[in-house]
Amino acid sequence: MPADHTPHAVLAELAGHPRGNDLARLVHAVAFSCADERRTSLPDGVKDAASRLGLSAEDCETPFGNVLTALERSPSEPTGPAARVLLSTLLARGIALSPPEGAEAERRVLESLAWIAAHTPLDALMAVDAALGAGAEGLWREAAILVRGVDEGTSPLIGRAGALVVAAALGASSSPAARTGAKALAVDARDPVVRALLNEAREPGAAAAAGELVPPPRGPIVLALMAVTGLLVILPLARLFGRLVLRYRCPAEMRVSPKGVTVLAKTELLGRTVREREMLIPIEGLARATREVKYARLAMYTGLFALALGSYVGLSLFVDGARAGSPELVGMGLLVVAVGVALDFALSNLAPTGGGRCRVVLVPRKGPALALGRLDPALADSALERLGRA
């Protein structure tokens, strides 16, 4: 028996099985029959279903055990982990052979899978990513909707047990749609167990900071070339035009874990997501990670400039007024000096100076550098501190 009992391993083994697809159809038929009839006993109807597909006991042999024997096992008998993974993966494979089309069909399939996982040993939710790949996105979107409906009391069909099973599967999935749904539910869900499941499903020891993907720092040679060609002015103007007119955005999130740094980024245009990316830089592949605070003391420097300018202009007017015996010039000079002092005080003490605009630059040993701007300095420091301990 193979040592690897993951859905990917089961699918790889069954890819060469002469009746692999029929085995998936058998488990699919038996499991969905249980869901339709709200029956928790898998053995009922197994032989009839196998007969209709022309499957014998010999046809049902796999490196992970006999499918027919596993299905006919009494509910009171314990099901081993290998048999459980085998049946669950075959159920997911059966869905992949006849994938649901449209949100309504996906919702019905998801409700059945939730009921099956909550009341039988089969849990195809753990294997849908491996079996369906990108085709599982629709199921995960419906999963988030289903859990939210149960949590709000508007969709009690699968009950709280089914909602908890689906919530756990959402948190464990690597699908972008599942991650999006899990992130929203972890904040909004009323049920504390749902929130706990989604929070615990996140990678332990991970730290995150959300911001926006920005151009990384350029070297002196590139800056010189861009200045000569005019791109140093054109590119910022083009980005400003895209941001203001086309609502161009690149929101991104940096997650630091023991494995490395993961950057999840989206490209948005006119409020719509046109591209999603996930970039992983392993710890051993990261050359440098630096945090930069842009313009952290801009207010202070502006205040000093205002003080210097106000003092120079004000004193010049004051001296000229005193020489000419003009009270108006003297008063104007004193007023300009007072305005300069007031601006310096306001910008140095009253304006927010709590860290400025924070940017984190990630430089891998191979490949281009990444930069995330508009980060919360505290979150960025926490993430980089976690990276330093990795």
- Range among 58-72, 73-87, 184-198 rated most confident: 58-72
State the Cα–Cα distance between residues 122 and 39, nearest whole angstrom: 13
Q: Do residues 51 and 71 both lie within one domain?
A: yes
Establish if 184 belongs to a structural domain: yes
- How far apart CA 370 and CA 380 sit, in angstroms, is 14
Q: Do 339 and 377 share a domain, yes or no?
A: no
Whether 1 is covered by a domain: the verdict is no
Alpha helices for the chain (secondary structure H):
7-14, 20-37, 46-52, 67-71, 81-97, 103-119, 128-132, 137-152, 159-172, 176-188, 192-201, 220-229, 231-244, 298-324, 327-345, 377-389
- Give the pLDDT of residue 157: 64
| 186 against 213, higher pLDDT | 213
User: Quick one: 284 and 310 in the same domain?
Assistant: no
Mark whether 137 and 175 lie in a shared domain. Answer: yes
Establish if 283 belongs to a structural domain.
yes
pLDDT digits (tens, 9 = 90+) for 328-385: 877 887 787 777 667 666 655 554 444 456 788 888 888 888 888 887 777 777 777 7
Do 71 and 178 belong to one domain?
yes
CATH number at residue 248: 2.30.29
Count of domains for the chain = 3
Distance of alpha carbon 14 from alpha carbon 289, whole angstroms: 44
Amino acid at 36: D
315 and 246 assigned to the same domain: no
Is 367 found in the same domain as 273? yes
Confidence band of 79 (pLDDT split at 50, 70, 90): low
Higher-confidence position of 93 and 302: 93
Sign of the dihedral through C-alpha 276, 282, 288, 292: positive
Kindly state whether residues 119 and 212 are assigned to the same domain: no
pTM of whole model > 0.85?
Answer: no
CA distance 148 to 183: 12
Q: In this prediction, what percent of the chain has a pLDDT beyond 90? A: 0
Query: 241-268, pLDDT tens digit by residue?
Result: 888 888 888 888 887 876 678 888 888 8
User: Are 88 and 109 part of one and the same domain?
Assistant: yes
State the chain's mean pLDDT as an integer: 78
Give the range of the structural domain holding residue 339, as residue numbers without chain letter.
298-350
* 2 located within any domain: no
